[in-house]
Amino acid sequence: MQRSFYLFAAMIFSAVVLLASVSHATYNVLFILDGSNSMWGQVDGTSKITTAKAVLVDLLKSLPGGTNVGIMAYGHRWEGNCKDVELLVPIGPNNPGELARRIGTIQPKGKTPLTYALDQSLPLFASLKGQNNYVVLVSDGKETCGGDPCQAAKKLAAAGVGVKIHVVGFDVSAAEKGQLECIAKEGKGRYFNAGNTEEFKRAFAQVKREVTQTPLPKKTKVYFFDDLDGDELKEHWEVMNPDQEYYIVEDGHLLIVTQKGLAGWDKVPNMMVLTKALPKGDWVATLKVRAVMQTLHTPVYFLLYQDKGTYLGIISGTESWMEYRSMYAVKRLKGKNTRLGHYSRLYEQVGKRFLNKSYPALYLRIKKTGHKYTMAFSLDVKDWRGKKWRSIGEMTMLRIAGRLVLGTYISDKSVSGETNVEFDWVKIEAVK
């Protein structure tokens, strides 16, 4: 526990550094303190709980304004109660006097309900999405209430509120260490092991570096948006291989119909090219589209396109009326063939309800981060796990001077019939 609070110190000082460099950053730290009976054990002649209290109180007094702190403890009220988890202080503005008073009430007594403690922390971050959120879990042992803290950590990290879980294990056995390492791994944080006071101090220094190097959530600003309203394409679009009988702008959509099976990107009709330059630096481009696609041979594409030999992006179609599938497509200057990867199902049985009806809206996305390009897609389906983006490919491209293009085509001459695709809007966000 002693080391735990040195860890707390490191994390708090890290937050201080970050706050000093970013004026509007918000940091929320929930400390989950081990109050189980084993915390009466001594390290360097002092009980762990005594050292922990003293160090934490001193640190709280040094926190800068703008840092929000919460304190949770477990195993400190009853000897055998696996629900003995208490939120001593909700996450809020730092109040050292009140926090010190509540910390002073911790008297180790009981068990180690790590799973229940992590589960109870999730609601505390529900309104803090997009901020710098941390859980710092300190334990001198493993779960003793039969729960699965690894799964609890995974659930917390995947809840969409941006929480990272750092764990400090103090004087633990190999089996205990394994479980605590798992919690940190599933919680997208790091584990720090310490067998004595000096190792604890080194762990604090490492945690401090981790927190001070944590990048703030990047802000996005809409750089370009076209809702495709009106009765004609706006001036920032150019049509390659135009066939005006098979595209029209009306009712807030760009409708493209394709009927002929063609081979080769240079022959695809009605390829819509955005002539507006992409923003410098990082960006995210998103396309919303709706279509009744027959097979993967009648896909919708959203690409960063230079010419028929150089392009990168995402292609999406349907294997059948039951499921959407998407791929990312890459072709390099020296490549001979298109490279397709991550042939990924988006949903299966959910699609049954759309038989003979329009498919739900499909979202295609290309994200540039440095030289890395990530492709992803999603659907407007209420029962499909919360409209979650699915990443299907990441590629490193050192140089590609392409334009964004969108459209649809038939890639196989043996496919009969036609594909009708409604393009709803295109958005590009600059990432700062």
Query: Which are the contacts of 230, defined by CB distance < 8 A and separation ≥ 6?
Result: 249
**Would you say residue 81 has pLDDT above 90?**
yes
Please give the pLDDT value at position 396.
Answer: 76
Please give the pLDDT value at position 117.
Answer: 96
User: Beta-carbon neighbour count of residue 301 at 10 Å?
Assistant: 24
Pairing of strands 67-74, 85-93: antiparallel
Please give the pLDDT value at position 17.
Answer: 37
**Would you say residue 289 has pLDDT above 80?**
yes
Average of pLDDT values for 68-72? Answer: 89
Compute the distance between CA of residue 18 and CA of residue 56 in angstroms, rounded to an integer. 20
Please give the pLDDT value at position 84.
Answer: 96
Question: What is the percent of the chain with per-residue pLDDT over 70, rounded to a whole number?
Answer: 71
Instruction: Give how far Cα 140 sits from Cα of 36, 38, 78, 269, 373, Å.
Output: 9, 7, 18, 66, 42
Q: How many CA atoms lie within 13 A of 414 on its CB side?
A: 2
Please give the pLDDT value at position 130.
Answer: 80
Please give the pLDDT value at position 226.
Answer: 96
User: What backbone phi and psi angles, to 5 degrees, belong to 294?
Assistant: -80, -50
Domain architecture of the chain: domains with CATH: 2-213 (3.40.50.410), 220-431 (2.60.120.200)
**Would you say residue 320 has pLDDT above 60?**
no
* Among the listed residues 314, 379, 389, the one whose alpha carbon sits nearest the alpha carbon of residue 348: 379
Question: Kindly report the CA angle at 281 between 278 and 285, in degrees rounded to 5?
Answer: 45
Q: How many residues are listed for the chain in this entry?
A: 432
**Would you say residue 208 has pLDDT above 60?**
no
Average of pLDDT values for 354-362? Answer: 59
Question: What mean pLDDT value characterizes the chain?
Answer: 78
Split at pLDDT 50, 70, 90, the class of 195 is confident
Query: Which are the contacts of 27, defined by CB distance < 8 A and separation ≥ 6?
Result: 15, 18, 19, 66, 67, 68, 131, 132, 134
Each residue's pLDDT tens digit, 123-133: 999 999 888 88
Split at pLDDT 50, 70, 90, the class of 10 is very low
